[in-house]
């Protein structure tokens, strides 16, 4: 009986928080977690992607943004995913409709950026939808940044032995997979 009440409390709390954000993926994750707890099932291992440290100390990778491959560098100091104007154009984003009204401090100094939402952002087999991002004006940055608006959606991320491990949620995995490298 106590377990049942605990599950109900967890479900109510999770559902309330998720509904407040209105993210269907989060709602599905919460529902699946509660189902596993209630049935006493174990979850499958979480999917993970390994990114080796580059010679310059950075963690560089090739992500797929709306299905188009784009080079990125992990930047935990960036609040958001930040795309160069050139990458945004290559992906086919509506650059003529963007308003560059967000003040942004970069390694190169102050610039303006435009807000948008990426339909789909994939790093290896970790996929997130409706990811908030920024696009900087033409020529203002040389590198796309994979910032916290993507990383915060993961179950966990951290560095171990010169490899950055990105771990997704177990319920999103369809079968057991080994960690992959996301540098190609």
Tell me the pTM: 0.70
What are the residue ranges spanned by the domains of the chain?
Answer: 2-39, 48-181
Q: What DSSP letter does each residue of 77-100 carry, written as one string?
A: T-SSEEE-HHHHHHHT--GGG--E
DSSP string, 36-57: HHHHTPPPPPPPEEEEEPPTTS
Model confidence over 68-90: pLDDT tens digits?
999 999 999 999 999 999 999 99
Query: What architecture does CATH give domain 48-181?
Result: Beta Barrel (2.40)
CB-based contact 115:102 (threshold 8 Å): yes
Q: Which of 17-26, 97-106, 146-155 has the lowest mean pLDDT?
A: 17-26
CA geometry: angle at 72 spanning 71 and 76, to 5°?
Answer: 175
Average pLDDT, stretch 132-160?
94
- Reported as a pLDDT band with limits 50, 70 and 90, residue 12 is low
Taking residues 179-183, report their average pLDDT. Answer: 52
Torsion of CA 125, 142, 148, 130, to 10 degrees: -60
Give the tens place of pLDDT for each residue, 122-144: 999 899 999 999 999 998 999 99
Which SS3 state, helix, strand or coil, does residue 2 take?
Answer: helix
CA atoms 127, 121, 25, 152: torsion sign: positive
Whether pLDDT at 1 is above 70: no
Q: What average pLDDT does the segment 15-39 reach? A: 61
């Amino acid at each position: 009986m106590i377990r049942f009440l605990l599950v109900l409390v967890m479900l109510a709390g999770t559902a309330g928080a998720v509904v407040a954000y209105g993210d269907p993926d989060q709602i599905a994750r919460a529902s699946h977690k509660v189902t596993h707890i209630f049935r006493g099932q174990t979850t499958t291992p979480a999917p993970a992607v390994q990114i080796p440290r580059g010679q310059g100390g950075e963690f560089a990778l090739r992500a797929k943004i709306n299905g188009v491959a784009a080079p990125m560098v992990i930047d935990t100091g960036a609040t958001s995913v930040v795309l160069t104007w050139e990458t945004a154009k290559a992906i086919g984003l509506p650059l003529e409709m963007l308003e560059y009204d967000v003040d942004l401090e970069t390694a190169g100094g102050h610039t303006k950026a435009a807000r948008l939402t990426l339909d789909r952002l994939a790093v290896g087999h970790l996929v997130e939808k409706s990811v908030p991002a920024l696009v900087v004006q033409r020529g203002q940055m040389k590198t796309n940044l994979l910032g916290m608006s993507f990383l915060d959606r993961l179950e966990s991320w951290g560095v171990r032995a010169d490899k950055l491990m990105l771990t997704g949620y177990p319920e999103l995995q369809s079968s057991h997979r080994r960690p992959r490298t996301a540098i190609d």
